[in-house]
Structure 1
Amino acid sequence: MSEPETAGEGELSARDRAVLEIAARTWTGPGPRERAVRERLGISPTAYFQQLNALLDDPRALRHDPVTVNRLRAARAQHRASR
């Protein structure tokens, strides 16, 4: 039996956890990551990055994977500061 896409109020959905798992990996370039996003999540890379960006502001994501969320928040802040 597969896990539902939605979760309780205090938990991330299976899809949100999968987005964070992909974000946590080290990729050799954009191609393999884009392929993983399409195959595993069934969404476009643009939709993936939109969902990931929203997750970075979600306290549940921070509780689930603080290392990845804090690393990506720092990278996002650095990118925004360099504009």
Structure 2
Amino acid sequence: MSSASSAEAVTRDKVADAPSDAGELTEQEQQILALERQWWKYAGAKDQAISDQLGISGVSYYQLLNRLIDSEAALAHDPMLVKRLRRQRDARQRARASRR
């Protein structure tokens, strides 16, 4: 197994275990929220930052983020950001449901 595929295996394990709801955010969870706070003019720039700063794929990032914004620890850490992300996710889900 190459180092790239072993890194992906570790990333998949991290995605399966996260987020922690024990009351405190892990360093990775805090980094995800910090990255999400930034303004992204171009989607490609955000994808590159995810890879560079966190060392995970965009898919893994968004899986972690979706689980993270449902946690009480994330809400306590940054309530305005988490509420905004929840509203955006809910609006996207409603838009998808109305197209069916």
* Structure-2 separation of matches of 1:55 and 1:70: 12
Equivalent AA in structure 2 for residue 72 of structure 1: L
RMSD between superposed Cα atoms in Å: 1.1
Percent of matched pairs sharing the same residue:
37
1:11 pairs, out of 24, 38, 51, with 24
1:72 pairs, out of 57, 62, 85, with 85
RCO (CA 8 Å, sep 6+): is it higher in 1 or 2?
Answer: 2
Displaced runs of 4 or more, over 3 A: none
Aligned residue number for residue 11 of structure 2: none
* Structure-1 separation of matches of 2:28 and 2:70: 16
> Which consecutive unaligned segments of at least 5 residues does structure 2 have?
1-19
Equivalent AA in structure 2 for residue 13 of structure 1: T
More helix by share: 2
> Which consecutive unaligned segments of at least 5 residues does structure 1 have?
1-6
Q: How many equivalent pairs are there?
A: 76
TM superposition shift of 1:10: 1.9
Q: Confirm or deny: 8 A CA contact 2:23 2:72 kept in the other structure.
A: no
**Looking at CA atoms only, which structure, 1 or 2, has the larger radius of gyration?**
2
